[in-house]
């Protein structure tokens, strides 16, 4: 948390596009062999908000910020505390200190140290003894001011299935050993679009600050790059991130993501293999932003160099930024630096 946090005053609306090549963007643990989530009716890949939030939480953890909902796979097997232990670990307190602390002060301490709770909220179900220490006025739940809908691919996806040999060799009795095979399910390619909102009213309850929201711009981008380096996730790349910050109280469009459409040129959806096989039609997005220009304070944006936008000719990020400036004002567009000197 910043030494001088600033109170969040404005609502924001987020559109975030990333792609996934030859990988499993979000496996369904209830399916055989952790198959990628795919809408059986539309053929679109689906990525839950929980998956995206996990990337962000893990990036916060790697950046040295305290988080409450930690990733069990990144901790030693024997070092997985219960919820009471998680609270004590993130706040750096013990029972003796909590015993003399008012519920309000305990909640303040928790939110100051648990950065992910300020963004996404948390359910606080502790043991009865620990809850007694925290007091009856300690909230049972914090509602997260940052919420994303499930992400969906902007096209029908193609899946591929391969057999892989597990590295673990299982003893079969005597001196003989045998390996085993598993099915590896992946998508050929998926360009996934997320829509989210940062609610300034809910931010009051978790103490989310302006600094936190500006950090979120970088976390989404860097988290996709840094937290997808495992075998099943290798192949992710952030492509476009746009956060529209509104100056009008309690106002947001709610449909900005609908204005971003995919042009696959002469290929069918299932023939797509990388971002160069398609262009983005953002005419609907630009029209909506122009209509909302009087409500907008700043458009924070970044696009990957390989993305081509469907203007008069196919154009890259700089052309997109210029189009945005022409619609909402020269001084109302900020290109995000995802690698500032101080993180």
Residue 179 included in any domain = no
My answer on whether 321 and 282 are in the same domain is yes
My answer on whether 256 and 278 are in the same domain is yes
Residue 4 has pLDDT above 70, yes or no: no
Number of domains in the chain: 2
* CB count in 10 Å sphere of residue 166: 10
My answer on whether 127 and 43 are in the same domain is no
The residues, ordered by sequence, that sit 6+ positions from 95 with a Cβ below 8 Å of its Cβ are 88, 130, 133
CA neighbours closer than 13 Å in the CB half-sphere of residue 119: 28
Domain-terminating residue out of 144, 171, 206: 144
Residue 259 included in any domain = yes
My answer on whether 126 and 59 are in the same domain is yes
Highest averaged pLDDT of the listed ranges 4-13, 78-87, 112-121: 112-121
Any idea which of 159-168, 198-207, 286-295 has the lowest mean pLDDT? 159-168
Domain-terminating residue out of 144, 177, 203: 144
My answer on whether 331 and 214 are in the same domain is yes
My answer on whether 194 and 323 are in the same domain is yes
Residue 35 included in any domain = yes
My answer on whether 21 and 97 are in the same domain is no
The residues, ordered by sequence, that sit 6+ positions from 31 with a Cβ below 8 Å of its Cβ are none
Beta bridge partners of 162: 184
Cβ 126 vs Cβ 90: under 8 Å? no
pLDDT of residue 312: 75
The residues, ordered by sequence, that sit 6+ positions from 18 with a Cβ below 8 Å of its Cβ are 191, 192, 224, 236, 237, 238, 239
Q: What is the pLDDT of residues 329-339, one digit of tens each?
A: 999 999 999 98
Cα three-residue angle 118-255-266, rounded to 5 degrees? 120
**Per-chain mean pLDDT for the chain:** 91
My answer on whether 197 and 331 are in the same domain is yes
Q: Enter the tokens of residue 31.
A: 């399916």
Domain-terminating residue out of 83, 113, 144: 144
Residue 167 included in any domain = no
Q: Enter the tokens of residue 238.
A: 């952030």
My answer on whether 81 and 206 are in the same domain is no
Residue 67 included in any domain = yes
Beta bridge partners of 303: 240
My answer on whether 39 and 65 are in the same domain is no
Residue 197 included in any domain = yes
Closest CA to 264 of 154, 160, 159, 152: 154
Residue 180's alpha-carbon distances to 167, 169, 170, 308, 323, in angstroms, are 8, 7, 8, 44, 55
Q: Is the dihedral of CA 26, 28, 31, 34 positive or negative?
A: positive
Residue 2 has pLDDT above 80, yes or no: no
Residue 173 included in any domain = no
My answer on whether 130 and 218 are in the same domain is no
Q: Which domain covers residue 289, as residue numbers? A: 12-48+150-158+187-335
Q: Is the dihedral of CA 74, 274, 156, 261 positive or negative?
A: positive
Residue 165 or residue 74, greater confidence: 74
Residue 5 included in any domain = no
Q: What is the DSSP letter of 340?
A: -
My answer on whether 16 and 68 are in the same domain is no
């Amino acid at each position: 948390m910043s030494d001088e946090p600033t109170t969040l005053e404005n609502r924001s609306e987020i559109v975030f596009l990333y792609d996934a090549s030859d990988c499993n963007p979000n496996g369904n643990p209830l399916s055989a062999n952790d198959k990628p989530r795919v809408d059986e009716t539309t053929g679109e890949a689906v990525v839950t908000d929980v998956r995206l939030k996990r990337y962000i939480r893990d990036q916060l953890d790697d950046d040295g910020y305290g988080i409450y909902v930690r990733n069990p796979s990144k901790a030693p097997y024997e070092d997985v505390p219960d919820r009471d232990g998680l609270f004590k670990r993130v706040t750096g307190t013990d029972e003796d200190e909590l015993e003399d602390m008012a519920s309000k002060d305990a909640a303040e301490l928790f939110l100051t140290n648990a950065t992910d709770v300020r963004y996404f909220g948390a359910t606080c179900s502790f043991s009865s003894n620990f809850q007694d220490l925290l007091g009856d006025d300690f909230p049972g739940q914090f509602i997260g001011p940052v919420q994303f809908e499930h992400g969906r691919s902007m096209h029908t996806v193609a899946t591929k299935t391969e057999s892989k040999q597990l590295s673990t060799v299982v003893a079969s009795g005597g001196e003989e050993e045998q390996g085993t095979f598993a099915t590896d399910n992946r998508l050929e390619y998926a360009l996934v679009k997320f829509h989210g909102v940062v609610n300034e009213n809910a931010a009051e309850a978790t103490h989310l600050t302006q600094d936190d929201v500006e950090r979120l711009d970088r976390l989404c981008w860097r988290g996709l790059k840094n937290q997808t380096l495992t075998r099943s996730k290798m192949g992710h790349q952030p492509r476009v991130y746009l956060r529209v910050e509104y100056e009008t109280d309690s106002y947001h469009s709610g449909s900005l993501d609908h204005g971003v459409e995919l042009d696959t040129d002469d290929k069918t959806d299932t023939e797509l293999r990388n971002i160069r096989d398609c262009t983005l039609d953002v005419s609907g997005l630009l029209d909506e932003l122009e209509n909302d220009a009087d409500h907008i304070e700043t458009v924070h944006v970044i696009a990957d160099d390989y993305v081509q936008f469907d203007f008069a000719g196919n154009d890259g990020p700089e052309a997109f930024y210029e189009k945005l400036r022409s619609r909402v004002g020269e001084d109302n567009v900020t290109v995000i630096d995802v690698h500032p000197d101080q993180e």
